[in-house]
Amino acid sequence: MQLYKSRDFSAFFQDTFSFLKQNGKHFFKQFFIINGIFLLILMVLGYFFTKFYTDVVFGGLLQNNPNAMDDYFNDNFGMFLLFIFVFLTVGLASGIISYAYTAIYLKLYVENDGNSFNSKTIIDSYKAKIGKLFIFLICSILIGIPLVMVAGIIMFILTITIIGILLLPVLIGAIALFYYMTLMEYMENKKGIWESFGYAWTLLSSKFWTAVGSVGLFYLMAYILQNVITIIPYIFGMASVFTTIDEGAPNPEDLGTTMMIIMLAVFFISFIIGTILNTIIQLNQGIVFYSLKEEKESINTRSIIDQIGSGE
């Protein structure tokens, strides 16, 4: 599949799903090989957080002990700080690696004219770009501070009206696409970080509503799908809890166990589905990036002309 190709609104959707149809197996296989260990650690940490919530917070409510949380922190303050440190460290590393995966994968896809590369090639690319990833992270935070303030004001204004609420995915899509196109251009090794931010804005403004509308709609669909999928175990679990209550006074330990199972099921399903859907959204942003870049620089067109010239 050719990534450098001019596309309209419908083509952004069609080519995203076409890419998944043609390369989805290889794409997600490499994703979980690269990110699997970090995702597993985060899920384990999520398990302990869920257990803490059900045992301390929910358990304290069942036992009518409003000081349960304070007692827990007093007895386990050091362990709690260690947990937070590990969670933030692993979460940051996982976030950077996961966020950069699609950008690196698509770059290798273009360079290899297809998916004829393996996880070792992807890891080598990560190693070569680790410095760039941290520079991007720091500069993104610096730009993000005023950007979040402006976006927060706009979101507040939009939420006042029903029509404005419908435009929230567009605002989120615009910010997400701006950042991701900056990263993808920075990974090309041809521009500095600030020049890449400027270039991303140029691409974004060149076809704003078409590009941002596509990404925003993907965010909306992912949000609805994730909530629909994760609410199913929650509904069944809560129905089981109320059935137990209706049958008589429940055992606090049994009720706590049931709540923990419900929360774990919702957490794990939401985590996995959210990770997959977020990666698909990033893939859509990559498709948009290569399309807008082709329209601005005619990379594929020039390549075809050069091939014709060399064949004569």
Q: How many domains does the chain have?
A: 1
**128: in domain:** yes
The whole domain housing 292 covers 9-301
**309: in domain:** no
Residues of the chain with pLDDT under 50: none
**244: in domain:** yes
The per-residue pLDDT for 33 is 92
The per-residue pLDDT for 147 is 87
**2: in domain:** no
Q: What is the pTM of this model?
A: 0.84
Cα distances from 67 to residues 58, 76, 253, in angstroms, run: 12, 14, 18
The per-residue pLDDT for 248 is 53
**308: in domain:** no
**95: in domain:** yes
The per-residue pLDDT for 201 is 93
Pick from 110, 117, 116: which is nearest to 303 by CA? Answer: 110
**76: in domain:** yes
Pick from 173, 103, 172, 161: which is nearest to 136 by CA? Answer: 103
**110: in domain:** yes
- Reported as a single tens digit per residue, the pLDDT across 236-279 is 666 665 665 555 555 555 655 666 677 777 777 888 888 899 99
List the structure tokens of 135: 């520079």
List the structure tokens of 107: 């770059």
The per-residue pLDDT for 78 is 75
Q: What is the CB neighbour count within 10 angstroms for residue 105?
A: 25
Helix, strand, coil share (%) of the chain residues, nearest 5: 90, 0, 10
- Reported as a single tens digit per residue, the pLDDT across 170-190 is 888 899 999 999 999 999 878
